[in-house]
Structure 1
Amino acid sequence: MKILEVNAGPLTNFEVFDFLRSKGASKDPTRVLVPVTPSEFKVYDYLVESAACNQTRNIINEFLEKSKKFKLAKAEILNIINIRPSSLVEVDSIIEQCDTRFQEEELQELVDLVVEVLPPLSNQPNAAEEVNEDVQGATERKDGEGIKGVNDEKADDDPMTDG
């Protein structure tokens, strides 16, 4: 591989993930056979668990095209692609002076665009599914079963409490 331009700019998580995959990084247990350093494997393992593993160049290009009307800074776009915010609160922490630059309707439109174009992590339920699970869980607990608490688990596993 030949470097065409040194320090061309920051990369999205997808671009790093794609590069590591092209070098041979994978979840394969025979990792010693590929020319990837241990630190690169750690980065790969992190990115496999992020939304970057479900993104493609076409998806990112589509998002870049559709998000031009928001006039976001390059760093803001990069963070949105990497983090994939799915609520107004998350977007507010990414965009500088968010409340003065945008109206709430524009921000909601941006969030809708992110949810529509950028795929979620495959094991992450979207917001509607989370609400449905919360409602189901609450109705299931009404019959008096309750949930075992974190402190209860620690007490059960603590060898010091065995009498």
Structure 2
Amino acid sequence: MKILEANAGALTNYEVVDFLRSKGAAIDSTRVLAQVSPSEYKVYDYLVQTAACNQTREHINEFVDKCKIYGLAKAEVLNIINIRPTSIIDIYTIIEEGETRFGDETRFGEVSKELAELVEKTLPPPPTDPESEAGINERKEETENEEHNVETKVAHFTFLRLLGILV
């Protein structure tokens, strides 16, 4: 792999998901075959539960284009895309010194409301697919069952040693 431009900027969560998918990351049991490290899978597992897994480049580009009229910093736009805030309060926490930049608190409130509506219209919501959640829950249950089985075996072994059956 060749680095074309070092430190080109921050990535959206969608871009990270897209990159990991291109390396072979997926929600399945054949993870051994993919060229993705365990830590990258943890990132992938987290991000597929966020709005990033439903976003496309078109969604992001449309949102960025429509945000230009507000004069937001790149980091603020990136945070809005990644967090996908849908309430005015969430927008307030992302935009720095909004009251100063937009004139007064009333105007900042209007801008925050417009941005929240823009997020609702242009960026898709997080997944609510019970199947994908069920798959993740199944893996958690399998891990918990494996841990329980190990604990049970250790307890049996300890009990048998106490009885003097095993030396």
State the alpha-carbon separation in 2 of the partners of residues 5 and 21 from structure 1: 21
**Residue equivalent to 1:10:** 10
| TM-score, reference length from structure 2 | 0.71
Instruction: Report the alpha carbon displacement of residue 28 of structure 1 after superposing the two structures with TM.
Output: 1.2
- The correspondence of residues 120-159 of structure 1 with structure 2, limited to 5 A, is 120-123=125-128
Match of 1:56 in 2: 56
TM value normalised by structure 1: 0.73
Aligned length: 124
Instruction: Look at both structures and tell me which one has the larger radius of gyration over its CA atoms.
Output: 2
1:114 to 119, 125, 130: 119
Query: Bigger CA drift: 70-79 or 2-11?
Result: 2-11
Distance in 2 between the 1:100 and 1:74 partners? 18
Report how far residue 122 of structure 1 moved: 2.4
Residue 114 of structure 2 aligns with an amino acid whose one-letter code is E
Aligned to 1:73: 73
Runs of 4+ in 1 over 3 A off after TM superposition: none
Unpaired runs of 5+ residues, structure 1, are 125-163
CA distance in 2 between counterparts of 1:42 and 1:107 reads 33
More helix by share: 2
Q: CA deviation at 1:17?
A: 0.5
The one-letter amino acid paired with 1:28 is D
Q: Residue in 1 aligned with 2:19?
A: 19
Q: Could you say what the CA RMSD is over the residues aligned between the two structures, in angstroms? A: 1.2
Contact 2:20 2:44 in 1 (8 A): yes
After superposition, give the CA deviation of every residue in 1:5-37 in whole Å (9 maximum; x if it has no partner). Answer: 111111000000000000000011010001100
Q: Distance in 2 between matches of 1:33 and 1:24?
A: 8
> Once the two structures are aligned, what percentage of the paired residues are identical?
63
The gaps in structure 2 that reach 5 residues or longer are 130-167
Query: 1:61, 1:94 → 2: CA distance?
Result: 19
Q: Aligned partner of 2:124: which letter?
A: P
Cα distance in 2 for residues equivalent to 1:9 and 1:98: 24
Partner residue, 1:85: 85
The alignment partner of 1:16 has SS state of: helix
Structure 2 counterpart SS, 1:67: helix
Q: Distance in 1 between matches of 2:42 and 2:80?
A: 23
d(CA) in 2 for partners of 1:13, 1:53 = 8
Deviation at 1:44, TM superposition (A): 0.3
CA deviations on 1:83-126 (whole Å, 9 max, x unpaired) are 000000000000001223231222211111011101111219xx
Q: Which residue of 2 aligns with 1:39?
A: 39
C-alpha distance in structure 2 between counterparts of 1:87 and 1:99, whole Å: 17
> Following the alignment from structure 2 to structure 1, what is the Cα–Cα distance between the partners of residues 86 and 14?
18
2-side partners of 1:28 and 1:122: how far apart?
Answer: 17
